[in-house]
Structure 1
Amino acid sequence: MIFMMLGGLLFWACLASLLPVLPAYVKDAGASDHEVGIVMRGFAIGLLLFRPKMGQLIDTRGRKAALLIGIVVAAIAPLLYALTTSTGMLLAIRIFHGLSIAAFTTSYSTLVADLAPAENRGELIGYMSLVNPIGMAIGPALGGYLHPLIGNQALFFVCSGLGVGSFLFSLMVQSTPVIAPPDTADNRPKLTAWHIVSHDRFRIPTFTMLSVGLAFGVLSVYLPLFVKQENFAMNVGLFYTMAAIASFMTRLVSGKASDKVGRGLFITVGLLCYMVSMIMLWAAQDVPTILAAGFIEGCGGGMLLPIMIALITDRCLAHERGRVYSLCIGGFDLGIFMAGPLVGFMAAWVGYRGLFAIAALVTLLATIVFITLSSKNLAYSLRFSLGKGRDLYALPKT
């Protein structure tokens, strides 16, 4: 688990180092705002294309193979960016780059779920997910600091080096055994994508992740351009650093607390944090407001994402974890992808501020849906989402 954490830390630092510079790099290559959105959401296209296959690979061939695939892609992709300024080629590379998170995050989450005792599942998932905020704190600050000093090309090589370090640590990770499904034919239905996302256990978590992905897609693509357009005197990487600090703090306590009071309350609060953060960005007139929005967004992500993984783990069997994760968490990928065509084209009419207002409305809708539909009826949903009732869809803890 130590090697998992070290490898995960460098993996997220590798990816996050590009966040402050890549949208501007694409725009400087001659792309319009709309084309920047298309290229950046190519990452989500890769996620959508590859995550289901990775989920299947994880369940049938083991967790470590997918883990290493994701890291290798993360190390190669920055070098490919350095080779071209063609918008078409950058889109293709961005799609390929999406394979990295599709493989790594699904396999990493599945490994942690395999190791976590049921009674401490939220706590261990929360602790092991700390690699994300730490890496997201180091990466953007590093990228934002180095870029003015060494330029695009050298920064891409630095990012690749972080990926190589992640690969070396992850080679030392020992995979858990592949878990076979029950032998009885009646207990072995084929898990199609539609079967997973349409099932009562997984439909609302998938929709929730879709909504948060849409908000995050707007944030990741258009925040650097918003800061540049409004002439805010700040390193945009500091927004992500503030988010990572807040995410770190909340993950330390929320996972353990969710084991005691239930997952629903923390998911509800996480959604509300996302909504407030988007409203603050819409209204921002100074740098402190933007940084405060980053902190609140980090609180939301620190509660919502790991506890949603714990919730999904509570509701699925061990031999189907890879496929269920790939589809339910894939809702987040779809949301990022949809941020471009559904929201990004409106930038010319409503501006970047207007995009954040739209993202706030989306997360408000997700909050209402989760509070009213997360369990078997309205009454149970209200109790579960406010921490007053148990999860009726959770399977027996074994």
Structure 2
Amino acid sequence: MPVRRLLILTGAIVLVDTMFFAALTPLLPHYVDELHLGKSGAGVLQSMYPAGALVAGIPSGMAATRLGVKPTVLIGLSLMAFTTVAFGLADSVLTLDLARFLQGVSSAFSWTGALAWLVAAAPAGQRGRLIGSAFGAAIAGALFGPVLGAVASFTGTAAAFGAVAGLAIVLAAGAAVTPPAARGRPQPISMLFEAILRDGRIQTGVWLCLLPALCFGTLSVLAPLRLSDLGWGAAAVGATYLVSAALEAAWAPVLGRISDRRGRLPPLRAALAASALVAVLLPWPHRALLLAFFVVCAGFAFGSFWTPAMSLVTDAAEERGLDYGYAFALVNIAWAPGQAGGAAIGGALASATSDAVAYLGLAAACLCTLAALSRYRDTAAPVAADR
């Protein structure tokens, strides 16, 4: 089937998924006040979604390789519709955490199936551009997510999140009538474990997916709470993330083209340097507007990892003959503990010490990775992009 049609479908799926994920950010101060969560409790709530994605990472890859990418997408979208409604109606910490966890499970199936479907149909020289375009749509979802959260803070979560569930149902119907991808021979799960244990390029790509997730997880807890402490409400916090996501969404396809032409490592080195710098700056502002500016810069820097890092993983998977379903399962397995660890550990560390300790730890991790990557040579030249 035409790659453009698959790109539109994939983009729509990841847009709706990330819209719900990002909707929680401006609602965190509300849940902290209403349910007396504190920073550590807020971190746990934020970590439930990636925890679900981690648990479902390998099963989603197995489903993609054995059932096919289309059934994997349908499983994810169906579960998304159910869990989004459940989260909107939840009125206790336990039900919120459980609904958020199951939404992470649905996300793993949706992302693994949709991206594997897209990349399998993509010409090799356009892989970075297509991943970047799909990720740009995902970031657009992150752009609308805080707006959805801000609206939910005024209208109530049931109505706002019910609308997201309706979108998931529409997308499931669209995926159901889309011609399925050609099925390859199912691969044993041992191939996935062999790849992550023995392939240095895949290990590097997985770490470079985990690290920005760690950064974003920490930022998603500490930044909205600090902005709230400085006097900003849910709408202003949502506007901050709106600006950040708009810049990321516009940049992702451009970054994909750069990685197709220049290789995956140059943009990754730039992302590491920029992320270290902004992490050093984040703890210190005492004015909400200046902090909001740094949050926007952080989102841009952290978001610059995804496209080249995922392209690096898929390039290595293709060289090994590893199914793309397993490749994106590895991305989920990398992202999930990073996002969960950043949210839970970052929130707990900041609560026990200060925000500065959490942010400076991220800066140190970025600098150490940059030093290691400076000695790393990509084993393959960038593929000439198709024009």
TM-score per shorter chain, which class? Answer: 0.7 to 0.9
Q: Is residue 136–residue 250 contact of structure 2 (8 Å, CA) maintained in 1?
A: no
Q: Which residue pairs with 2:253 in the alignment? A: 252
Q: Which residue pairs with 1:326 in the alignment? A: 329
The yes-or-no answer on 1:158 pairing with 2:158 is no
Which deviates more, 42-51 or 9-18?
9-18
Quickly say closer, same or farther: Cα 1:115–1:27, change in 2 above 3 A. farther
Q: Which residue pairs with 1:212 in the alignment? A: 212
Displacement of 1:369? 2.7
- Residue-by-residue CA offset, 1:240-294 (whole Å, 9 max, x unaligned): 2122111122123121121111110111112233333323321223344333324
Quickly say closer, same or farther: Cα 1:27–1:232, change in 2 above 3 A. closer
Which deviates more, 210-219 or 287-296?
287-296
Q: Which residue pairs with 1:185 in the alignment? A: none
**What is the aligned residue count?**
376
Partner Cα distance (1:27, 1:205) in 2: 39
Displacement of 1:208? 2.2
Quickly say closer, same or farther: Cα 1:198–1:221, change in 2 above 3 A. farther
Q: Which residue pairs with 1:346 in the alignment? A: 349
Which deviates more, 63-72 or 9-18?
9-18
Q: Which residue pairs with 1:305 in the alignment? A: 306
Partner Cα distance (1:60, 1:72) in 2: 19
Structure 2 residue ranges without an equivalent (≥5): none
- For the aligned residue pairs, the C-alpha RMSD in angstroms reads 2.8
- Paired letter, 2:170: G
Q: Is residue 274–residue 297 contact of structure 1 (8 Å, CA) maintained in 2?
A: yes
Q: Which residue pairs with 2:183 in the alignment? A: 178
Structure 1 SS opposite 2:157: helix
Q: Percent identity?
A: 22
- Paired letter, 2:130: L
Which deviates more, 285-294 or 88-97?
285-294
Quickly say closer, same or farther: Cα 1:231–1:359, change in 2 above 3 A. farther
Q: Which residue pairs with 2:149 in the alignment? A: 143
Q: Is residue 125–residue 383 contact of structure 2 (8 Å, CA) maintained in 1?
A: no
Q: Which residue pairs with 2:227 in the alignment? A: 227
Of structures 1 and 2, the one with the larger relative CO (CA 8 A, separation 6+) is: 2
Which deviates more, 203-212 or 231-240?
231-240
- Paired letter, 1:357: L
- Paired letter, 1:163: A
Which deviates more, 254-263 or 31-40?
31-40
Quickly say closer, same or farther: Cα 1:156–1:329, change in 2 above 3 A. closer
Q: Which residue pairs with 1:274 in the alignment? A: 275
The yes-or-no answer on 1:74 pairing with 2:74 is no
Q: TM-score, normalised by structure 1?
A: 0.84
Quickly say closer, same or farther: Cα 1:271–1:105, change in 2 above 3 A. farther
Displacement of 1:363? 2.4
Aligned to 1:355, which of 354, 358, 372? 358
- Residue-by-residue CA offset, 1:354-381 (whole Å, 9 max, x unaligned): 4233322222233223333x4xxxxxx3
Partner Cα distance (2:19, 2:238) in 1: 12
Displacement of 1:328? 4.1
Partner Cα distance (1:195, 1:35) in 2: 36
- Paired letter, 1:227: L
- Paired letter, 1:220: S
Q: Is residue 140–residue 246 contact of structure 2 (8 Å, CA) maintained in 1?
A: yes
- Residue-by-residue CA offset, 1:177-219 (whole Å, 9 max, x unaligned): 122269xxxxx89324364244222122222222222111111
Q: TM-score, normalised by structure 2?
A: 0.86
Q: Which residue pairs with 2:191 in the alignment? A: 191
Aligned to 2:61, which of 55, 60, 64? 55
Q: Which residue pairs with 2:133 in the alignment? A: 127
Quickly say closer, same or farther: Cα 1:176–1:354, change in 2 above 3 A. same
Partner Cα distance (1:287, 1:176) in 2: 49
Displacement of 1:27? 4.9
Q: Is residue 116–residue 125 contact of structure 1 (8 Å, CA) maintained in 2?
A: no
Partner Cα distance (2:345, 2:148) in 1: 32
Q: Is residue 243–residue 298 contact of structure 1 (8 Å, CA) maintained in 2?
A: yes
